[in-house]
Amino acid sequence: MASCGSTPPTSTCRSAPATRPSRRWGRFRTKTSCITTTESGRSTSTAPRRASAATATSMWMPSMSPDPIDNAHRNGTSDPKGDTGMIFKQPFSRRDLLKFAGGAVAIVGTGVWAGNILLPEAASAAIGDPDLYLAGTDGWIFLPKTPAIPPFHPDVLAPDPFTTYIFGFRNVTGLGDTQLTNQKNKAQHSAPMFWTKQFDPAHPVDFTVQLTNLGLALRPDLFDAHTLHWHGFRNVIPFFDGEPSGSVAVRTGRVFSYVYRPREPGTYMFHCHVEDVEHVQMGMTGLVFVRPLQDGQNIGGHTQFIYNDGDGSTGFDREFAMFLSEVWAEAHWADAHIQLPQWSDYRADFGLLNGRVYPDTIAPNAPIDAAASIHALAVQTDPVSGDLVAPVGHPELQYQPQSSLVNCNAGETVALRFANLGFREQAMTLAGIRMRVVGRDATPMRGRDGTDTSYETETINIGPGESFDVVFIAPGHTGPGFDTYMLYNRNYPATNNLAPGGMGGQATEIRVYAPGGLRAQAYPNDLGV
Ligand SMILES: [Cu+2]
């Protein structure tokens, strides 16, 4: 993707001449970076993590007026270095934080930035409860045990039936506090896929994700913070970017809410940005996408789209996310055994699609709570412990709940959202079906004058940090049963599970059923059976 950073091309927060608003902005940025060294408070909520649950979160912040604008004013005159705020501390409520940082809400609402870099915009509704609750922790996943890579794979510390130590995220929406703390050492890979709708200035609603850092059960000595970084996402300010030297990081036992106003639809990825080579490789990565405002209109026979295309050219009947990641067994073993890998020796032993290797990629999703899958693939959880319910017949995939199987009916338009947060470029090929690339890096394939630059291909070459949006028309059904087409990586080492001659890794199947054979999708990656 174009940029790991958060500064949009139109933003002047780094490059603007020192106009008065920009100077104040600079002060503001200084202040926000101070917060990195402070801590968000622990949630004191005992209610389940639902939209209706009130979460009281406090935070220690540099001394400042409850009104950040006033504070910025003061510092602009009496504190040329903008660092007096580091000296004193006073309690700072979550509401204050959101008012301070979230920002855009209070700042733009008062018109402070009008005429500078942000378009005027009505203030948002009152800060509500988060739309999604994520937790960061460690855990164990399953990868094929043979051939072994002694002593790294399978890891002798792994509880049966698992093989590989990970760091990762979990969707903890709906869990109570005890259930939440139970999820320590129960991370999943890849991270929970989630989505939201493009921000609508006419009906401003912020999208809020609360992140809890549960700590690492196997490595209590590693008191690493975690963050949520939407890679390639154009934040207006870096406060919620998740890059820890320029924004907040969530330390062990702490809670923080990220607030988003996604302006550009398309497919993104997210990852923890703390010690990011390590935390990304260890599994704190997943796919996130933004639905366009055009959704719901009937354009070109579709009501769901990838972009605001105006003509239905990115419309689809079914959608499937394909998140590419890699596992270097030695690095995972090293973190479990209190060792340090030599990252320059990096090799990808396993290529993963949605956190699994073929043929596990075609195993079903874990049981999904369709009604709860509003903003994320909500895997059903044990009603007592809150732990993930494993896919039917696959206890070893309990913490790899996301299937990569593509089920569709003949003649349907299918959207595939690819994102790669492995460290190597890959070449995903769909044998026998032409894919049309309609978007890259959350940008529709249109020239500045609107020229259609989409193209057909059988292979997409997708580098680390890149995303692709493609659509294809499911071919006619010949049956009986379903017709199978292979979607696989042409990069052989990413497709062999280390076994000679075997099919594995980043591969899955497209299964085409007779027209009407599958019900409509209820959520992304729904198999419709
Ligand atoms: Cu992390």
CA neighbor of 522 nearest in space, from 318, 282, 235, 216: 318
C-alpha of residue 166 to centroid of ligand 1, in Å:
11
C-alpha of residue 486 to centroid of ligand 1, in Å:
34
**Helix H or strand E segment including 461:** strand 459-462
Residue 7 lies in a domain: no
Residue 443 lies in a domain: yes
| Torsion angle (degrees, nearest 10) of CA 498, 496, 322, 260 | 20
Identify which has the larger pLDDT, 120 or 232. 232
**Residue-wise pLDDT tens digits, 66-90:** 333 333 333 333 333 333 222 223 3
The three-state secondary structure class of 487 is strand
Q: Are residues 176 and 60 in the same domain?
A: no
Q: Are residues 287 and 384 in the same domain?
A: yes
As a three-state string, the secondary structure of 345-408 is HCCCCEEEECCECECHHHCCCCCECHHHCCCECCECECCCCCCECCCCCCHHHCCCCCCCCEEE
**Residue-wise pLDDT tens digits, 256-280:** 999 999 999 999 999 999 999 999 9
Residue 67 lies in a domain: yes
Residue 241 lies in a domain: yes
Q: Are residues 290 and 402 in the same domain?
A: yes
Q: Are residues 68 and 148 in the same domain?
A: no
C-alpha of residue 331 to centroid of ligand 1, in Å:
15
Domain count, the chain: 2
What range does the domain containing 64 cover?
20-35+56-109
Q: Are residues 138 and 103 in the same domain?
A: no
Please provide the distance, in angstroms rounded to a whole number, between the alpha carbons at the two ends of the chain. Answer: 34
C-alpha of residue 439 to centroid of ligand 1, in Å:
29
Q: Are residues 395 and 496 in the same domain?
A: yes
Tokens 């002047």 appear where?
12
Q: Are residues 137 and 31 in the same domain?
A: no
d(CA 342, CA 356): 25
Q: Are residues 101 and 161 in the same domain?
A: no
C-alpha of residue 250 to centroid of ligand 1, in Å:
9
Residue 125 lies in a domain: no
C-alpha of residue 468 to centroid of ligand 1, in Å:
25
Model confidence band, residue 5 (pLDDT cutoffs 50, 70, 90): very low
- CATH (domain of 348): 2.60.40.420
Residue 301 lies in a domain: yes
Q: Which of 16-20, 220-224, 495-499 has the lowest mean pLDDT?
A: 16-20
Q: Are residues 430 and 311 in the same domain?
A: yes
C-alpha of residue 251 to centroid of ligand 1, in Å:
9
C-alpha of residue 115 to centroid of ligand 1, in Å:
37
For residues 471-475, give the mean pLDDT: 98
C-alpha of residue 487 to centroid of ligand 1, in Å:
31
C-alpha of residue 7 to centroid of ligand 1, in Å:
22
Q: How many residues does the chain have?
A: 529
Model confidence band, residue 127 (pLDDT cutoffs 50, 70, 90): low
Residue 242 lies in a domain: yes
Is residue 295 scored above 80 in pLDDT?
Answer: yes
Residue 503 lies in a domain: yes
C-alpha of residue 113 to centroid of ligand 1, in Å:
33
Q: Are residues 169 and 226 in the same domain?
A: yes
Q: Which of 109-118, 139-148, 236-245, 518-527 has the lowest mean pLDDT?
A: 109-118
Q: Are residues 159 and 240 in the same domain?
A: yes
Q: Are residues 338 and 451 in the same domain?
A: yes
pLDDT at 48: 66
Residues with CB under 5 A from ligand 1 (ion): 226, 272, 274, 279, 284
pLDDT at 499: 81
C-alpha of residue 296 to centroid of ligand 1, in Å:
36
C-alpha of residue 274 to centroid of ligand 1, in Å:
5
Average pLDDT, the chain: 81
Is residue 154 scored above 90 in pLDDT?
Answer: yes
pLDDT at 186: 98
